[in-house]
Structure 1
Amino acid sequence: MNFQVGFIRTNEFGWLFSILASIVMCKIIYEVTRLFSISLFKGYMKLNEAQKLEWNNRGISTFHALFVAVASIYILIVSDLFKEGPENELITHRTSIISDTALGISLGYFVSDLAMILWNYPALGGMEYVLHHGLSMISIIQSLVIGQAQFYVLMVLFTETTTPFVNLRWYLDTAGQKSSKLYTCNGIALFLGWLVARILWFVYFFYHMNSHFDQVQKMHPLCFYSILVIPPILTVMNAYWFWKITRGIIKTLTKTKHSA
C-alpha cells in the first residue's frame, strides 16, 4: 500500500487561538447557565452540588452541539470546500480557515469537558465518556496538525446534533418532569435523531469512505489508521446507546398507553 506522507503544518497555528478561545467560552457558558438557571428555574437551588455541576456542564455541551451542527452543515454542504470535481484536490486533503476554526473550537470543548469529567469523576460520566472524548480529541488533533481527513472528522462531529435531546431528557428528569408530554415527545425526537444522525449517518460515512478509498489511502499513516479504527469504535458505542434509547422509549410509550 502506497502512502503519500503529508507534511506537518508547522506554519499554520491560527487554530490554536480558537482552541484557547473555546476553553474560555466554555467557562463563560458554564457561568451563564448557572445564572440563568437561578433566575428562571426555581428548583435549581434545591439541587445538590453534584446535580448543579452537571446541570451547568450540560449547558456547555448543548451550546457546543448546536455550534458544531451548524458549522458542519455549512462546511460540508453549503460551502464549496468539499465539492466533488475531477480537477479538485483530494477530498481528504482539503482544509480552510473556517474548517480549522470550527475544529479548534470543538477541540477546546472536548478538552474542557474531559478535564471536568476527570476532575469530578465519576459524577459527570464513566469511562465511556472518557473514551468518547479521547477518541474525538485524537481525531481532531491529527486532522488539525496534519491537515487531512477534515471531511470525515466533520462528518463524525455532526452526530453531536443529538446532544441537546439527551440533555433535555436529563433536565426534565432532574426537574421531576419525567411524566410530562414534553419528556415523551423529547424521547421520540431523541430516538429518531439518534437513528438518523448516529446510525444511518454512519452507514453513509462508511459508504463514502469506501467509494473514496483511493483518496483515503493517500493520507498520512496516522490519519489513515485513525479513520479505520476510531469510527468503527464510535459506531459500536452509538449502537449500544441506541439500544438503550430504544428500550427507554418503548418503556415510556408503554406506560403512557396504560395510563391513558
Structure 2
Amino acid sequence: MAIKSYATQAELLLRNYMHADSYALCTSIIGSICACKMVYDLSQVISAAYLKSYSRLSKLKKIEWNNRAISTFHAIFITTMSLYFVFWSDLYSDDRFAPAITLRHSKLSTFPLGVSIGYFLSDLGMIIWLYPSLGGLEYVAHHLLSMLSVIYAMVTGEGQIYTYMVLISEATTPSINLRWYLDAAGMKTSRAYLINGVVMFLAWVVARMLLFLYLFYHIWVHYDKVMQMQTFGHCLVLGVPSVLIVLNSVWFWKILMGLKKTLAKRH
C-alpha cells in the first residue's frame, strides 16, 4: 500500500510538471546557472584588477572569493523577491474567497524559484567539487533540503508562501560573505569587521530565528490549509523548516561565541 501511495504521488508530481510552463521553468534554471558563471567571472576580473588583497590569496581562496560573489548576488535577489511575495504582494493575502493560501501561485512567483534552483545546483556542484573546502556535510544537507522544497513548490505550485518565508533567511548571506572577505583581506581587526559582525548577528536573529518562529505560527494558524496539500507537500512544510531551524540554531551559537570573542578582544 505504501509503495502504491508513493507511486501515485510521483504520478501526480509528473502530471503537474507536464502541465506547468516548462519553457519558463527551464529558462529560469538555465538562465540562473549562466548568471552564476557570469558573476563568478566578473568577480574574478574586477577583483584581480582593483583589489591588491585578492592577488595575494591562494588559488583555493580565490575560488571561494568568487563563489561567495555568486551567493551574495543570489541572496540579494531572492531576499528581495521573497519579502515582496510574503509581505507586500496580495497573492498570499488572507482572502477567504481566494483559493487556499498554500495552493496559490503564479508565473511571477514561480520564476524566482527556478533562479534559486539554478543557484543551489551551481553552489552544490562547487561544494562537492572542492569538498570539504567550501563547506562540510551540514552545507550539503542544507542545500539538498532547500532544493527539494524549492523544486516541489515550483513544480506543483503548493506551499510557495512557506518556501519564500524560508528563503528570506538568505538575507544573512551578504554579511556572512563580507565577514569572510574582510578576514581574507587581512582586516579582521578593523572597525568594519566588528560592525559587520554585529549586523550579521542581528540579521541572523531576525531572518533565521524570529522569522522561523513566525513561520511555525503561520503554519499553525493555517494548518487546515496545509492539510489540503499533497501528503508529501505538507511533510515538507513541517519537516524542512524543523531541520533548518536546528541547523540555524547551531550556526547561531557559533556566531554568538565568535561575536563575544571579538568584543572581548576589543575591550
TM-score tier by shorter-chain length is: over 0.9
Select 1:133's aligned residue among 128, 136, 143.
143
Gaps of 5+ in 1: none
SS of residue in 2 equivalent to 1:32:
helix
Moved over 3 A (4+): none
State the Cα RMSD in Å: 1.1
State the identity %: 46
Q: 2:52 aligns with which of 42, 64, 82?
A: 42
Residue 11 (1) aligns with residue 19 (2):
yes
Aligned length, in residue pairs: 253
**Distance in 2, Cα, partners of 1:96 & 1:202:** 24
Which whole-Å deviations, capped at 9, do the CAs of 1:32-64 have from their partners, x for residues lacking one? 011111122112111111100100000000000
Q: What pairs with 1:25-64 in structure 2 (closer than 5 Å)? A: 25-64=35-74
Q: Do residues 200 (structure 1) and 210 (structure 2) align?
A: yes
Q: By how many angstroms is 1:145 displaced?
A: 1.4
2:240 corresponds in structure 1 to: 230
TM-superposed CA distance for 1:9, in Å, is 3.6
- Please give the alpha-carbon distance, in whole angstroms, between the structure 1 residues aligned to 2:49 and 2:84: 34
Alpha-carbon separation, structure 2, partners of 1:224 and 1:137:
16
Task: From 173, 180, 200, give the equivalent of 1:163.
Answer: 173
Q: Is the 8 A contact 1:23 1:109 kept in 2?
A: yes
Please name the residue that 2:133 is paired with: 123
Question: Aligned partners of 2:69, 2:17: CA distance in 1, in Å?
Answer: 34
Structure 1 length-normalised TM: 0.95
Given that residues 142 and 222 in structure 1 are in contact (C-alpha distance below 8 angstroms), is that contact kept between their aligned partners in structure 2?
Answer: no
Q: What secondary structure does 2:105 align onto?
A: coil
Kindly indicate whether structure 1 or structure 2 has the higher relative contact order, using CA contacts under 8 Å at least 6 residues apart.
1
Structure 2 CA distance, aligned partners of 1:42 and 1:186? 21
Q: What is the CA deviation profile of residues 62-113 of structure 1, one whole-angstrom value per residue up to 9, with x for unaligned ones?
A: 0000000111111122221111111011010011111110100011100110
Structure 2: state its 5+ residue gaps. 1-8
SS in 2 for 1:100: helix
